[in-house]
Amino acid sequence: MPDTPHNRPDRRPSEAAYWFLFDRDRLLLRHNTDGWYIPLAAEPPVEAAAAMEITGQVARTTPGPEPASNTIRYFASSVEVPQAAPAGMEWVALRASYDLLGERVYALAGKAFELVHWERNSRFCPACGTGMEPHSEISRRCPTCGKELFPAISPAIIVLICKGDSILLARTCYSRSPFMGLVAGFLETGESLEACVHREVFEETGLQIRNLRYFGNQPWPYPSGLMVGFIADYAAGEIRLQKEELSEAAFFDRNRLPPLPPPLSLARRMIDWWLDCPSSR
Ligand SMILES: [Zn+2]
């Protein structure tokens, strides 16, 4: 079989499979009066690059009787040039698909998106420039020097800072969303997650925090992040914004919160937890 532009044989299914197909950050979904679904077909519904098989377990993603699901495979690919969605289908932003697909199918779509993005960006060996070849589902190997590549994940922290009965909410300079969120930032090389939280909070707001504790984490496939959430208490300092990062930040009382981030985000889960949990105060 000839190599594809991704240096990978096109492994297409021999029978109907679920297709996670992307045009940039948009996912192709089928819809009818029952809802929105991942397309189920033997062939990709649009002309796509070489397909990649994705492992995962999702119950129902199509209307009608429950398929003998364990036998249905998942494939992911992307289109090389924009294409109109076939009848009964639509391109939907991956983020917006959360509300349409539910958490489990959205999570698998996120994994598919990350792997498609990784493959497009790991076509050549970073050590010697040779075209990389597939090695396992999640690795590629250089046939010349043997270097192996795995999908890179970029960890970032996000922190809810409590001060009495209020929390710190901030607006980033580059966000056009109407919501205020939590302080967040990428982990630096050689840094612990805890050190990263203290550094980001101090750099962006001038505040010092204490009593740092882990909350939870969330894959953030835009394109390959992992958000790690922490709760902290205000310790000292006056708010002094890092102008390149934040346009606004303030402590908000629980009775006077501004519009909050959508439920998809870890930030929102943390804020909801704080609202529900008097012991956090
Ligand atoms: Zn190499």
pLDDT at 9: 54
How many angstroms does the Cα of residue 30 sit away from the middle of ligand 1? 41
Cα(8) to ligand 1 centroid in Å equals 16
Distance 71 CA to ligand 1 centre (A): 37
> In which band, very low, low, confident or very high, does the pLDDT at 70 lie, cut at 50, 70 and 90?
low
Distance 114 CA to ligand 1 centre (A): 23
- pLDDT given at position 278: 67
pLDDT of res. 56: 73
Query: Do 17-121 and 154-276 come out as alike in CATH topology?
Result: yes
CB under 5 Å of ion ligand 1: residues: 125, 127-128, 130, 142, 144-145, 147
Three state DSSP letters for the chain? CCCCCCCCCCCCCCCCEEEEEEECCEEEEEEECCEEECCEECCCCCCCCCCEEECCCCCCCCCCCCCCHHHCCEEEEECCCCCCCCCCEEEEEHHHHHHHHCHHHHHHHHHHHHHHHHHHCCCECCCCCCECEEEECCEEECCCCCCEECCCCEEEEEEEEEECCEEEEEEECCCCCCCCECEEEECCCCCCHHHHHHHHHHHHHCCEEEEEEEEEEEEECCCCEEEEEEEEEEEECCCCCCCCCEEEEEEEECCCCCCCCCCCCHHHHHHHHHHHCHHHC
- Lowest-confidence segment of 61-70, 127-136, 234-243 by average pLDDT: 61-70
Domain ranges of the chain: 17-121, 126-152, 154-276
Residue 185 has pLDDT above 50, yes or no: yes
Kindly give the distance from the C-alpha atom of residue 132 to the centroid of ligand 1, in angstroms, as a whole number: 8
- 141 alpha carbon – ligand 1 mean position (Å): 8
User: pLDDT tens-digit profile of 136-171?
Assistant: 878 999 999 999 999 989 999 999 999 999 999 999
More confident position, 2 or 26: 26
May I ask the CATH class of domain 17-121? Answer: alpha beta
pLDDT of amino acid 73: 85
Question: Ligand 1 centroid vs 125 CA: distance in angstroms?
Answer: 5
For 221-253, how does the pLDDT look when each residue is reduced to its tens digit (9 = 90+)? 988 999 999 999 999 999 999 988 899 999 999
Distance 164 CA to ligand 1 centre (A): 55
Centre of ligand 1 from the C-alpha of residue 145, in Å: 4
Ligand 1 centroid to Cα of residue 190, in Å, is: 25
CA of 123 to the centre of ligand 1 (A): 11
Q: How many A from CA of 115 to the centre of ligand 1?
A: 20
Separation of CA 133 and ligand 1 centre (Å): 10
Query: If you measure from the C-alpha of residue 140 to the centroid of ligand 1, how many angstroms do you get, rounded to a whole number?
Result: 11
> Positive or negative, the Cα torsion across 134, 135, 137, 138?
negative
Residues 29-50 have a mean pLDDT of 91
Distance between CA atoms of residues 140 and 248, nearest Å: 43
CATH class of 154-276: alpha beta
Q: 131 alpha carbon to ligand 1 midpoint, in Å?
A: 8
Q: Is the pLDDT of residue 4 over 80?
A: no
pLDDT greater than 60 at residue 264: yes
Q: Is residue 191 pLDDT above 80, yes or no?
A: yes
Q: Output the pLDDT for position 6.
A: 47
* Among candidate residues 203, 215, 218, the one with its CA nearest the CA of residue 270: 215
